[in-house]
Structure 1
Amino acid sequence: MFRKVEESQTLLINTQSKNLAAQNKELIKFGFGQSPFLPPKQVMDELKSAVHHKEYSSVQGDLELRQYMADFHKAHNGLTVLADDILIGPGSKILIFNTLMAFEKANVFIPTPSWVSYGPQAKLAGHNIIQLPTDFDQKWRISAESLKKASKHKLHRATILILNYPGNP
């Protein structure tokens, strides 16, 4: 038996955009978070210089980059973080999903509005989803009061807060 989640809203928007484009309709696509611009030249040059590598990289991400991030947080935030405690991934969606899957059962607090994937990912992981309402007047910020009120809906010991900054949307 499969777990059921609603259709991906980003894939739905992409399909609708393709259908409109096929009808020669003028549109501006905002469905996917992919940039319409090429990466900076320096990034493309670095990728070209590394193309001869044939081995897989570390599942945690490139050690040199993880060490750079650890040093950055020490210098800029005063945080002592080990490179082994840092994960580098191809995007936040897979990193969030992997984090959710690391827990057997958890309460997942999701500020709303939020990106459309967070709820379905938490559902696929079998977690208890708890929405934290936000609004324009509060600048889309969660409050201690909203966390306290939402905590009444906790079902599990573990709790995860998905807090995306800058907010998405």
Structure 2
Amino acid sequence: MELAKRVQSLTPSSTLAITAKAKALKAEGHDVIGLGAGEPDFNTPENILEAAKRAMDEGLTKYTPSGGVPELKNAITAKMKRDQGLTYSNEQVIVTTGAKHALFTLFQVLLNKGDEVIVPAPYWVSYPEQIKLAEGNPVVVPASEENNFKITPGDLKQAITSKTKAVIINSPSNPTGMMYSREELQAIGEVCLENDLLIISDEIYEKLIYSEEDHVSMAQLSDELYANTMIINGVSKSHSMTGWRIGYALGNKEIIKAMTNMASHSTSNPTSIAQYAALAAYTSSEEQVFQMREAFKERLNALYGWLTEIPGVKCVKPSGAFYLFPNVKEASEQCGFKNVTAWVEALLDEEKVALVPGAGFGAPDNVRLSYATSLDQLEEAAKRIHTFVNKHQLKE
């Protein structure tokens, strides 16, 4: 039986593929260092685990409203007011089965066949695929490494057509870790307003920032941008809750209503127990969040130093998230490989270090390294990469 055309064109997730291969090698007994996974290596904080246990003991294990329990919606709106000074009603919130599902559902209710969404590159691997699944067209706009992987208002203007419906802004970014400043967002936002574009603001890494800059949401900048912005967020990265699958979207209540209706026919509701765990995450101390962030900052500084000592590796130091996105084109060429993806595959085979090729993120000269693992593992990984590069250069 022939599969639907919508899935025949999908590109498998490069991050999940490399993680699966690394796990398979580990299962065979190899000493693999996996720097591919996009999730914190810390366990979920104890108070959140306890909240989940209480929810089970209290019988909170049934269906919930499709858009999430009111208590969690209240906590999300309170968080937005507290952190960003933004006021939302519960009608402007949907709780989803992870931030990925929030994005997927948004594209499904937003796009008609042929509608275009501007996707700055490097991009998170699922953006283009989700747009295609909604029968839209992702319009990839390369952001230069010289501009710290951020698009300019001029880049955006050139990409807009009569079919453009939305633009995605991911700050801090996966895979680059780069963050847009208030001034940069304001300039991009003005272009969006002039062209009546919806702004999809993916803020999943907003708690993981290591510079002196503050996180800024497009929705904070003006009443007009607030009205034109859909915020995507969740507890996965901030509270080390990737497996709990709780995300959310905030914005226009008509869009939220449509997303809720669609969710009622797909997931029914996010897992009840996970919602009460997320409620605890947003109504208790963030001390463990701050501790986790400090650990990531220490790892970033160490790994950045080790990587930039490797011949042919160039890297822009990021502001947030937990990724480095070095350009290794020169290193791969000096080592005699036809492209960076081949270089990454050989590194895993020979030195058992798993990185993610940048091609899956729209940047074929780069690789993504997650530093969501211990300093000892990061140091050993850097040594192995250095050994790999030196060995192949000597062959030349």
TM-score normalised by the shorter chain: which range applies?
0.7 to 0.9
* 2:19 and 2:36 in contact (8 A); partners too: yes
Please point out which of 138, 142, 151 is paired with 2:151: 142
Q: Determine the structure 2 residue equivalent to 1:34.
A: 39
* 1:66 and 1:84 in contact (8 A); partners too: no
Q: Distance in 1 between matches of 2:12 and 2:82?
A: 43
Please point out which of 150, 161, 168 is paired with 1:162: 168
Show the 5 A alignment for 1:22-101. Answer: 22-51=27-56, 52-101=59-108
Q: Determine the structure 1 residue equivalent to 2:331.
A: none
**Per-residue CA distance 1:59-107 (angstroms, 9 max, x = gap):** 2223122122223333443433111101222322111111011122431
Counterpart residue identity of residue 130, structure 1:
V
Q: CA deviation at 1:138?
A: 1.3
State the structure with bigger RCO (CA 8 A, min sep 6), 1 or 2: 2
Please point out which of 118, 122, 141 is paired with 1:113: 122
Structure 1 window deviating more from structure 2 (112-121 vs 59-68): it is: 59-68
Q: Report the CA distance shift for 1:85/1:129 in structure 2 as closer, same or farther (over 3 A).
A: same
Structure 1 window deviating more from structure 2 (21-30 vs 113-122): it is: 21-30
Residue 25 of structure 1 aligns to a residue whose secondary structure is coil
Counterpart residue identity of residue 124, structure 2:
W
Q: Distance in 2 between matches of 1:135 and 1:25?
A: 37
Structure 2, unpaired ranges of 5+: 176-396
Structure 1, unpaired ranges of 5+: none
**Per-residue CA distance 1:99-120 (angstroms, 9 max, x = gap):** 0111224311111111111111
Q: Report the CA distance shift for 1:36/1:138 in structure 2 as closer, same or farther (over 3 A).
A: same
Q: Distance in 1 between matches of 2:80 and 2:130?
A: 29
Q: Distance in 1 between matches of 2:28 and 2:79?
A: 49
Q: Distance in 2 between matches of 1:72 and 1:38?
A: 22
Higher-Rg structure is 2
Q: Distance in 1 between matches of 2:41 and 2:82?
A: 33
Matched residues, number? 166
Residue 12 of structure 1 aligns to a residue whose secondary structure is helix
From the two aligned structures, give the one with the greater helix fraction. 2
Q: TM-score under structure 1 normalisation? A: 0.86
Counterpart residue identity of residue 68, structure 1:
A
Q: CA deviation at 1:142?
A: 1.8
Q: Distance in 2 between matches of 1:90 and 1:32?
A: 19
Q: Report the CA distance shift for 1:78/1:15 in structure 2 as closer, same or farther (over 3 A).
A: closer
Q: Report the CA distance shift for 1:27/1:135 in structure 2 as closer, same or farther (over 3 A).
A: farther
Q: Distance in 1 between matches of 2:155 and 2:172?
A: 20
* 1:128 and 1:155 in contact (8 A); partners too: no
* 2:121 and 2:141 in contact (8 A); partners too: yes
1:9 aligns to 2:18 (yes or no) = no
* 2:55 and 2:61 in contact (8 A); partners too: no
Q: Distance in 2 between matches of 1:22 and 1:133?
A: 38
Q: Distance in 2 between matches of 1:71 and 1:15?
A: 38
- CA RMSD for the aligned pairs? 2.0
Q: Determine the structure 2 residue equivalent to 1:132.
A: 141
Percentage of matched positions with identical amino acids: 30
